[in-house]
């Protein structure tokens, strides 16, 4: 079975980054929750900062809107000051973003660490959203394929094949994050094809046909429809626009495009 033959449920996740403490999170979720709940056919995920997850969960718990953490450590407990464990997230979050480019660039996260986290997330029934993406200098030097290959092979090594349907990969070109310069659908399609081919080499096409691959990088209400119309883009990881009600429009764009496709 080829990857293109399977129908994957779209997934749109909002990465709030270091914005919205508990009371702001509460207020913002009140503004968008009813609208998000009404949109069918798409997984809707909100990723607050760790300190706001409990406040978010108090509102989203009984809704169809899921929560994701923005990061976690791989160990269950212990002397890891400032870290959050998968045991702490389980029951509150369904997803966890791992290896975001900001974590890689600003906090020194390596593929090896991201891989340990991905394995730990799956072992604790959390669905990892693993981010990969090239920097502008990589793209300009024609190194995109090599960089993506290193990240995919390193970050996604050794995952249990029976859990691959719980894996989400976010293709996030670093030059598109927070810059207002989204990748073209052609760019996104080309790199997502590389990601799918790599996953196929690692685990087989059949086992990875259900892996969802999102695009992330300056997704807005204005460009969401065009991105969503691309069959190989299974959803979006949204930063800045997830802090506004535009997030609802982005989710709707993916729900509508994918229900037609
Ligand atoms: C992100 O941080 O994952 C992201 C895609 O940010 P933005 O949408 O603001 O570019």
DSSP 86: H
Going from the Cα of 56 to the center of ligand 1, the distance in angstroms, rounded, reads 20
State in Å: Cα 83 to ligand 1 middle: 23
Q: What is the pLDDT of residue 221?
A: 97
94 in catalytic set: no
Question: Number of folded domains in the chain?
Answer: 1
Does residue 210 sit within a domain? yes
162 catalytically annotated: no
Output the pTM of the full model: 0.96
Question: Per residue of the chain (261 residues), what is the pLDDT tens digit?
Answer: 444 467 899 999 999 999 999 999 999 999 999 999 999 999 999 999 999 999 999 999 989 999 999 999 999 999 999 999 999 999 999 999 999 999 999 999 999 999 999 999 999 999 999 999 999 999 999 999 999 999 999 999 999 999 999 999 999 999 999 999 999 999 999 999 999 999 999 999 999 999 999 999 999 999 999 999 999 999 999 999 999 999 999 999 999 999 865
**Residue 5 in 3-state DSSP?**
helix
Q: Residue 3 falls within a domain, yes or no?
A: no
The answer as to whether 247 is a domain residue is yes
DSSP class of 90: B
Q: Return the number of other C-beta atoms located less than 10 Å from residue 247's C-beta.
A: 27
Sort residue 217 into left (φ over 0), alpha (ψ -120 to 50) or beta.
Answer: left
Does some domain include residue 4?
no
Strands 66-69 and 95-98: parallel
pLDDT at 217: 97
Q: Which atom of ligand 1 is nearest to the CA of 216?
A: 5
Residue nearest to atom 1 of ligand 1 (CA): 239
Instruction: Report the C-alpha gap between 80 and 71 in whole angstroms.
Output: 14
Q: Cβ < 6 Å from ligand 1: which residues? A: 15, 172, 177-178, 216-219, 237-241
Catalytic residue of the set 100, 102, 109, 134? 100
Q: Give the Å distance between the CA of 135 and the centre of ligand 1.
A: 14
Nearest residue to 124 via CA among 152, 151, 85: 85
Domain harbouring 63, CATH code: 3.20.20.70
Q: Is residue 143 part of a domain?
A: yes
Q: Is residue 111 part of a domain?
A: yes
Please give the pLDDT value at position 35.
98
pLDDT of residue 3: 41
* Atom nearest to 180 CA in ligand 1: 10
How far apart (Å, rounded) are the C-alpha atoms in residues 145 and 195? 9
Q: Which residues pair with 15 in a beta bridge?
A: 47
DSSP 3-state helix, strand, coil percentages of the chain (rounded to 5)?
A: 50, 15, 35
Domain with 72 in it: 9-257
Q: Give the 3-state secondary structure of residue 47.
A: strand
Question: Could you tell me how far CA 76 lies from the centroid of its own chain?
Answer: 22
Q: Give distance in angstroms: CA of 200 to centre of ligand 1.
A: 27
The answer to whether residue 173 sits within a structural domain is: yes
- Which atom of ligand 1 approaches the CA of 242 most closely? 8
């Amino acid at each position: 079975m080829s990857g293109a033959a399977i129908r994957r449920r779209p997934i749109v996740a909002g990465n709030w980054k270091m914005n919205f403490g508990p009371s702001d999170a509460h207020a913002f979720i009140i503004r968008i929750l009813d609208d998000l709940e009404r949109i069918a056919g798409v997984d809707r995920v909100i990723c607050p900062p760790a300190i706001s997850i409990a406040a978010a969960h108090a509102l989203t718990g009984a809704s169809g809107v899921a929560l994701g953490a923005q990061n976690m450590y791989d160990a269950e407990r212990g002397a890891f000051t400032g870290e959050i464990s998968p045991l702490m997230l389980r029951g509150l979050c369904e997803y966890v973003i791992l290896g975001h480019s900001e974590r890689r660039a600003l906090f020194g996260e390596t593929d090896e660490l991201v891989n340990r986290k991905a394995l730990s997330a799956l072992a604790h029934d959390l669905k990892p959203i693993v981010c990969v993406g090239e920097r502008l200098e990589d793209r300009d030097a024609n190194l995109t394929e090599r960089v993506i290959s290193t990240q995919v092979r390193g970050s996604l090594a050794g995952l249990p094949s029976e859990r691959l349907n719980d894996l989400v990969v976010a293709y996030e070109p670093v030059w598109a994050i927070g810059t207002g310069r989204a990748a073209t659908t052609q760019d996104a399609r080309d790199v997502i094809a590389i990601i799918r081919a790599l996953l196929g080499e690692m685990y087989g096409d059949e086992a990875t046909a259900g892996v969802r691959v999102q695009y992330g990088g300056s997704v807005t209400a204005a460009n969401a429809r065009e991105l969503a119309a691309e069959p190989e883009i299974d959803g979006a990881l949204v930063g800045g626009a997830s802090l506004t009600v535009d997030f609802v429009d982005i989710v709707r764009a993916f729900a509508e495009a994918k229900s037609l496709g």
